[in-house]
Amino acid sequence: MAEPIEVTDADFEQRVLERSAEVPVLVDFWADWCRPCHMLAPIIERAVAAQDGKVELAKLDTDANPATAARFGVRGLPTVKAFRNGEVVDEFTGAQPPPVVERFVDGLVPSQADELVGGGDEDSLRRALEVDRNHPVARRELARLLLRRGDSGDALSLLDGVTGDFVAEGLAARARLAGDEDLAPAFEAWDRADPATALELLQAALADPQRSDDIRKVMVAIFTELGADDPLAREYRRRLSAALN
């Protein structure tokens, strides 16, 4: 069984945040005086070892490394945080029984469907849906491929029932707008990764009240893909709000 790595304030960025872009990293925030920490440690180690390298375990002594503990809001011990792509994706505080810890660690490992979605091609996406017919990312990305080749009806059927995903909602709106030839250049710009042109064309089309709600959803999808802090997203979000108010 691989030993957990000991991390510090000095190397946390490299050994946890950067490393988590390659594999999920579980961080056990602990202190030597904390009895529940000592009880939890072997349970976490066994659960991580069972993943055979698909998850890594790091330990941070909060007494010796208070800056990192404060940075991530650690207020009780033990605290366990899971990192993926430099971000906390799940966490718990307090000693937990083995089944709870095992489920927590299992949830960090990509499923077979997740791995297939990573392929990105139509065959992989369809195989992912055979494994998990409700996989939201597989449904969304397959719908995107279908829209690009003009199969708007099949794309809309795939997206039916997908909630809480602004990109999926935007793709569904695009499918409903597929018959509007004047919007085709905007969608083509989105497909070729030219969001500035896509947003400008969509903004110009907002004046039509019959299409404005679906156009808004397409624009929000593009904002989401750009990221909240992207200057282009901020500018067009402001323009969209002004146009609709």
Catalytic residue among 37, 69, 156, 159: 37
Q: What is the pLDDT of residue 1?
A: 60
CB-based contacts of 50, cutoff 8 Å, min separation 6: 102, 105
The total of structural domains in the chain comes to 3
Asked whether 81 and 72 are in contact (CB, 8 A), the reply is yes
Q: Is 172 within a domain?
A: no
Pick the closest to residue 44 from 33, 28, 60, 25 (CA basis): 28
Residue 19 annotated among the catalytic residues of the structure? no
**Are 102 and 114 part of one and the same domain?**
no
**Are 241 and 181 part of one and the same domain?**
yes
Q: Is 29 within a domain?
A: yes
pTM of the model: 0.67
Q: Is 171 within a domain?
A: no
Max distance between CA atoms of the chain, in angstroms, equals: 68
Whole-angstrom distance, CA of residue 76 vs CA of residue 128: 39
**Are 233 and 184 part of one and the same domain?**
yes
Whole-angstrom distance, CA of residue 145 vs CA of residue 123: 11
Specify the CATH number for the domain of residue 29: 3.40.30.10
Q: Is 230 within a domain?
A: yes
Residue 69 annotated among the catalytic residues of the structure? no
**Are 102 and 16 part of one and the same domain?**
yes
Domain interval for residue 191: 177-245
For residue 78, whether the previous peptide bond is cis, meaning omega lies within 30 degrees of 0, is yes
Q: What is the pLDDT of residue 2?
A: 65
**Are 95 and 130 part of one and the same domain?**
no
**Are 16 and 97 part of one and the same domain?**
yes
Asked whether 58 and 3 are in contact (CB, 8 A), the reply is no
Whole-angstrom distance, CA of residue 16 vs CA of residue 73: 16
Q: Is 200 within a domain?
A: yes
Q: What is the pLDDT along the chain (245 residues), one digit of tens a residue?
A: 668 999 999 999 999 999 999 999 999 999 999 999 999 999 999 999 999 999 999 999 999 999 999 999 999 999 999 999 899 999 999 999 999 999 999 999 988 898 899 899 999 999 999 999 999 999 999 999 999 999 999 999 999 988 889 999 999 999 999 989 999 999 999 999 999 999 999 999 998 899 999 999 999 999 999 998 899 999 999 999 999 88
Total number of residues shown for the chain: 245
- Among the candidates 85, 106, 127, a domain finishes at 106
Catalytic residue among 5, 23, 34, 50: 34
